[in-house]
Amino acid sequence: MYFLTPSTAKKLLILLVAAVFFISCSKFRRIERSEDWRLKYEAGQNYFKKKDYYHTAILFEQILPIVRGLPEGEKVEFYLAYCQYYQKTYLLASNQFKVFFETYGRSQLAEEAYFMYAYSLYIASPDEQLDQKSSIEAMGAMQNFLNQFPGSQFSDKATEVINKSQVKLEKKEFENALLYLRMRYYQAAIICISNFRKTFPDSKYLEQMAFYKIEAQFKLAEQSIPSKQLERYHSTLDFYQEMLDSFPNSAYLKEAQPYYTASLNQVNLLKIKTTKTIN
């Protein structure tokens, strides 16, 4: 009885895999060189079922100009969009799904295509530290989807995408305000925080933002020319009062208190100086 050594068995396995790969490649090359678009169409569908999106895309891209306008053209364009999605070229996939929806608006696949157009945009969006153009576009597209397809099977997922995109945008704007504060661009920080409150009135960051607005305003007043200091210290007091009214039990009030006290002292000193100058 003959037993294979481990190394021999490994070599035979490698040769077997190589042979299968060679036969598979040869078969694909024959299909690829064929002038029969129906053969490529059937083969492309089989590759897609096997999750071989690379070979599906090659064959379907070849026959797309031929089948466009035919019943098969609808599936070819739809599968091509998914091939790009599964190969993680999300922006290309998004565009392809959008083209499909615009071309086949009455198709049974149109609803799914529109959802995938928006979802691909969402997947393509980067972390909150980077530009969030894709997140903004995804939110808009998903909202349009919900308006156009109320009661869709994708409604829950679409709502989830909108909520998650909203969180990313909130975090991005929150980090922007902190960045301005760290870089000592205090006026920019104040504007950013004010806009944040208008854009995200229910954000979990509002309490922190209220504190950072006081801090930024106080430091802006400190570095201002004398003619602007009185007004800016007054604004610090106003921002503190706003925080006290909105978040009376905030843990940040203790940190904000020194800015309030210092601003109050500066306002009194500046008023005395102004009175002496007038007299």
> What is the reported pLDDT for 189?
96
Mean pLDDT, to the nearest integer, of 59-88? 93
Q: Which of 270, 277, 274, 242 has the alpha carbon at shortest distance from 256?
A: 242
Cβ density class 231-265: b for 16+ within 10 Å, e for less: ebbbbbbebbeebeeebeebebbeebeebbeebee
- CB–CB of 37/63 below 8 Å? yes
pLDDT digits (tens, 9 = 90+) for 102-122: 999 899 999 999 999 999 999
> What is the reported pLDDT for 278?
54
User: Sorting pLDDT into bands at 50, 70 and 90, what band is 60?
Assistant: very high
Percent of the chain's residues with pLDDT above 70? 87
pLDDT digits (tens, 9 = 90+) for 127-159: 665 667 778 888 999 999 999 999 999 999 999
Q: For the residues of 155-169, what is the DSSP string, one character each?
A: HHHHHHHHHHHHHHH
Tell whether the model's pLDDT for residue 267 goes beyond 70. yes
> What is the reported pLDDT for 29?
86
> What is the reported pLDDT for 8?
54
Give the integer Cα–Cα distance in Å for 264 and 19. Answer: 84
Amino acid symbol at 90? Y
Give the integer Cα–Cα distance in Å for 215 and 209. Answer: 10
Bigger pLDDT: 126 vs 144: 144
The two tokens of residue 198 are 């208008």
Give the integer Cα–Cα distance in Å for 158 and 138. Answer: 10
Radius of gyration in angstroms for the set of CA atoms belonging to the chain, rounded to a whole number? 31
Q: How many residues does the chain have?
A: 279
> What is the reported pLDDT for 129?
59
> What is the reported pLDDT for 74?
93
> What is the reported pLDDT for 22?
44
pLDDT digits (tens, 9 = 90+) for 4-45: 556 554 544 454 444 344 445 577 888 888 888 899 999 999
DSSP state of 99: H
Tell whether the model's pLDDT for residue 220 goes beyond 80. yes
Percent of the chain's residues with pLDDT above 90? 70
- CB–CB of 226/193 below 8 Å? no
Mean pLDDT, to the nearest integer, of 187-199? 94
Question: Which helix H or strand E contains 55, and what residues bound it?
Answer: helix 53-67
The two tokens of residue 55 are 């070979």
> What is the reported pLDDT for 18?
40
> What is the reported pLDDT for 5?
58
Beta-carbon contacts of 226 under 8 Å, excluding residues fewer than 6 positions away, are none
Beta-carbon contacts of 106 under 8 Å, excluding residues fewer than 6 positions away, are none
Map out the domains of the chain with their CATH numbers: 184-279 (1.25.40.10)
User: Sorting pLDDT into bands at 50, 70 and 90, what band is 167?
Assistant: confident
| pTM for the model | 0.73
- CB–CB of 217/235 below 8 Å? yes
